Structure 1
Amino acid sequence: MTINSLFMRRALELAQHGRGSVSPNPMVGCVIVHDLGHSPTERILGEGWHRQYGGPHAEVNAIRAVSPADEALLPESTAYVTLEPCSHYGKTPPCADLLIAKKIGRVICCNDDPNPLVSGQGFAKLRAAGIEVVTGLLAEEGRALNARFFTFFEQKRPYILLKWAETADGFIGGVGATPVAISGPLAGRLVHRWRGEEDAILVGTTTARNDNPRLNVRHWPDTARPGMAGSPIRVVFDRALTLPRDLHLFDGSQPTRVYHNPSVTSPGDRPNLSYVPAHSLAAMLTDLHQQRIQSVLVEGGAQTLTAFLEAGLWDEIRLFRSTASLQAGVAAPQVRGHLVDQQAIGDDTLLVYRTFA
């Protein structure tokens, strides 16, 4: 591993601390290293990451971490940043301008920013100021870190995660779609953590009716979602609007969007509850994209999961496989994609598949 890769991996590691707290911004880490003198004793002057949406970006936090005594070393230093420094005024000033003002010697990045408000302009600003810019270091790792952000801008839809639990003999539910506890308590707690890391969580009509889920993060109370409602936006595709109005989904406790066939008349919006006509999954995802939703965790049921799979509208599968058997019931969806991770979660096995290796 090269010394540049070592520092960039540290920046990627820092960036992950922002997961669940920075959307719709990307996760970004920054490490500032005094090294332009090509000394054998490179030294980290400051580190930072984007901690929460609306707060200072990674570069700002890294610069702030540099001691006053070390600021004079910045012209001989490299900023390792996982994503192109922003070049526009949003909730915070441009990070490219800060790096220029601090006379940073060099900037090394994983990826260009796909946001058209940046998209190369940050690098152009830095180069115009005479700062050396190197791009593409650990580019695949950088894209994987911000897969949601890249999917949102490049594919014009949210990143789709499909999650289910199945028995050892391949069933996702009991006979007649009867709810059955398949995965263990550790898996259940992990799912609540995942919910807190995504923008929205979706279920189909059958799951909403039979399971009456709350779709919140009550079993992972430390989840931080600055500027959001604590739990992700709830989404249900109730085509004919047949779901009972006394379900938890309609209690107004967190923002909820109900998608239905355009030919069906909705009962009207209420606080934290919106009815949105959509003739297909693709139309629903287009609307969620317009709402700046960058990721959706789909928790079932089998028909809904299969619909996403067959439409090719998915990016990741998270599958808990239990050691239990049912012998009969609702068959689990057919797994697709590349297996990228496998680990034990209590008595269950977690398998992660992606459309990309």
Structure 2
Amino acid sequence: MAVNAAERHAMDRALHLAARGPRGANPQVGAVLLSPDGRVIAEGWHHGAGTPHAEVDALSKLAPGEAGGATAVVTLEPCNHTGRTGPCAVALIDAGVARVVYALDDPGVASGGGAERLRSAGVDVESGEQADAAHALIAGWLTAQRLGRPHVTVKWAQSLDGRAAAADGSSQWITGPAARADVHRRRAEADAIAVGTGTVLADDPALTARDGDALLPHQPIPVVIGSRPTPSDAAVHRHPHTPLFFDTRDLRAVVADLHTRGVQSLFVEGGPTLASAFIEAGLADRVLAYIAPVLLGGSRLALTDIGVGSIDEARRLTVDEWLPLGDDLLAIAHPAHATDPAEDPQNEGAA
């Protein structure tokens, strides 16, 4: 049975509810329960590890038997395992829910399979509704589950002719205030932000997420990668979080280490050497290219060697969005032929 208008509206609401939950070891999930005639009768979301999952949170707001014949609209496939809480699939079955509409399959080996359990109990199940929006919300958690590393966004700013700096090395500011504000908002959405030691020495970045001069509520953990020493008075040492330093060229070891620390999303800020290394290693799940309508010429390219020797080896991207930001343009893209990093051949061996 096709998804109806009431269910689509409920999924919009469920995604909004999911975003209220904290980012962490568990995914952000929202749920809306509809009566047989399409009215919203309960809502819920996951409030954090150890608390009831979204479906159970919604069911808890109903009297016994009130969910009979209802439809549950959920942003992630109801789980099928017992951890600190019981299986949501069983809770829905026991409550008498007749139909479940969800956005994304649960990739967990232990937690997945809820849809099949529901179908086996006679519940009608529909999947894939607003999957892209649900994926964007929990991309970090999904990558951590599938690949054992954070979801990596590689960002750079460039002139129209592909330069990251002028001939003398100056780069502030290639882009305008709207683009810079967008960068800070996206920094605040990440668990960690990474730069190379060359960027620390050249630009002395604070690596904070700001709104003007004020710090945003969430600050990413600063990560510095490279073998050159960082001055003791560098701005990164004044960050609200203690910086992490990695004296290594092995980026797979870096992201594996960050994964053990609970980092699910990494924002790679630069410079060109580090951004290129992440792309060459097949670790870039998303690319943000801020393009300014200026020409700089010279040799200071936004990217250096990414392991492409011929046009046949080009790293193909699929553009998700072109976003105007004042006079600048943001290209948001991901590796071509992949809906998520686990399906991208350029990410082979990324775990």
Does TM, scored on the shorter chain, surpass 0.5? yes
Root-mean-square deviation (CA, aligned residues, Å) is: 3.1
Equivalent position of 1:180 in the other structure: 172
TM-score (structure 1 length as normaliser): 0.78
After superposition, the Cα gap between the structure-2 partners of 1:20 and 1:110, relative to the gap in structure 1 and judged at 3 Å, is closer
What is the deviation of 1:90?
A: 5.5
Segments of structure 2 that go 5 or more residues without pairing to the other structure are 305-314, 340-351
Q: Give the residue type in structure 2 aligned to 1:174.
A: A
Taking the aligned partners of 1:80 and 1:45, their CA distance within structure 2 comes to: 12
After superposition, the Cα gap between the structure-2 partners of 1:344 and 1:84, relative to the gap in structure 1 and judged at 3 Å, is same
Equivalent position of 1:233 in the other structure: 221
Does structure 2 retain, via aligned residues, the 8 Å contact 1:167–1:321? yes
The counterpart of 1:349, out of the listed 326, 329, 345, is 329
1:244 counterpart = 2:231: yes
- Aligned residue for 2:188, secondary structure, equals helix
1:302 counterpart = 2:272: yes
Does structure 2 retain, via aligned residues, the 8 Å contact 1:5–1:138? no
The counterpart of 1:203, out of the listed 187, 195, 213, is 195
- Aligned residue for 2:144, secondary structure, equals helix
Equivalent position of 1:24 in the other structure: 25
Q: Which moved more, 1:164-173 or 1:92-101?
A: 92-101
Taking the aligned partners of 2:187 and 2:83, their CA distance within structure 1 comes to: 27
Equivalent position of 1:149 in the other structure: 141
Superposed CA offset, 1:275-330 (max 9, x none): xxxx5111111111222211111111011111111122111111111112223352
After superposition, the Cα gap between the structure-2 partners of 1:249 and 1:155, relative to the gap in structure 1 and judged at 3 Å, is same
Q: Which moved more, 1:151-160 or 1:93-102?
A: 93-102
Taking the aligned partners of 2:117 and 2:257, their CA distance within structure 1 comes to: 34
What is the deviation of 1:181?
A: 0.4
After superposition, the Cα gap between the structure-2 partners of 1:33 and 1:281, relative to the gap in structure 1 and judged at 3 Å, is same
Q: Give the residue type in structure 2 aligned to 1:201.
A: I
- Aligned residue for 1:173, secondary structure, equals coil
Q: Which moved more, 1:249-258 or 1:155-164?
A: 249-258
Question: Which stretches of structure 1, 4 residues or more, deviate above 6 A after TM superposition?
Answer: none
Equivalent position of 2:92 in the other structure: 99
- Aligned residue for 2:186, secondary structure, equals helix
Does structure 1 retain, via aligned residues, the 8 Å contact 2:323–2:330? yes
Q: How does 1:68-87 map to 2 (within 5 A)?
A: 72-87=65-80
Q: Which moved more, 1:335-344 or 1:10-19?
A: 10-19
Q: Which moved more, 1:53-62 or 1:71-80?
A: 53-62
Q: Which moved more, 1:297-306 or 1:171-180?
A: 171-180
Superposed CA offset, 1:189-245 (max 9, x none): 221211121111111111111121111222286955xxxxx311111102x242212
What is the deviation of 1:31?
A: 2.2
Taking the aligned partners of 2:124 and 2:205, their CA distance within structure 1 comes to: 49
1:257 counterpart = 2:244: yes
Taking the aligned partners of 1:197 and 1:53, their CA distance within structure 2 comes to: 19
Taking the aligned partners of 1:321 and 1:223, their CA distance within structure 2 comes to: 25
The counterpart of 2:111, out of the listed 107, 118, 142, is 118
Does structure 2 retain, via aligned residues, the 8 Å contact 1:24–1:293? no
How many residue pairs match? The answer is 324
After superposition, the Cα gap between the structure-2 partners of 1:58 and 1:343, relative to the gap in structure 1 and judged at 3 Å, is same
TM-score (structure 2 length as normaliser): 0.79
Does structure 1 retain, via aligned residues, the 8 Å contact 2:290–2:330? yes
Does structure 1 retain, via aligned residues, the 8 Å contact 2:97–2:123? no
The counterpart of 2:159, out of the listed 159, 167, 179, is 167
The counterpart of 1:218, out of the listed 184, 204, 210, is 210
Q: Give the residue type in structure 2 aligned to 1:30.
A: A
1:138 counterpart = 2:129: yes
What is the deviation of 1:140?
A: 4.6
Q: How does 1:32-51 map to 2 (within 5 A)?
A: 32-35=33-36, 41-50=37-46
The counterpart of 2:302, out of the listed 316, 319, 332, is 332
What is the deviation of 1:72?
A: 4.5
Does structure 1 retain, via aligned residues, the 8 Å contact 2:31–2:74? yes
Q: Give the residue type in structure 1 aligned to 2:55.
A: E
Does structure 2 retain, via aligned residues, the 8 Å contact 1:15–1:50? no
Taking the aligned partners of 2:53 and 2:89, their CA distance within structure 1 comes to: 11
Superposed CA offset, 1:12-64 (max 9, x none): 564256189423332322221223xxxxx522223344466666543244335
Q: Give the residue type in structure 1 aligned to 2:78.
A: P
- Aligned residue for 1:177, secondary structure, equals coil
Segments of structure 1 that go 5 or more residues without pairing to the other structure are 36-40, 225-229, 262-278
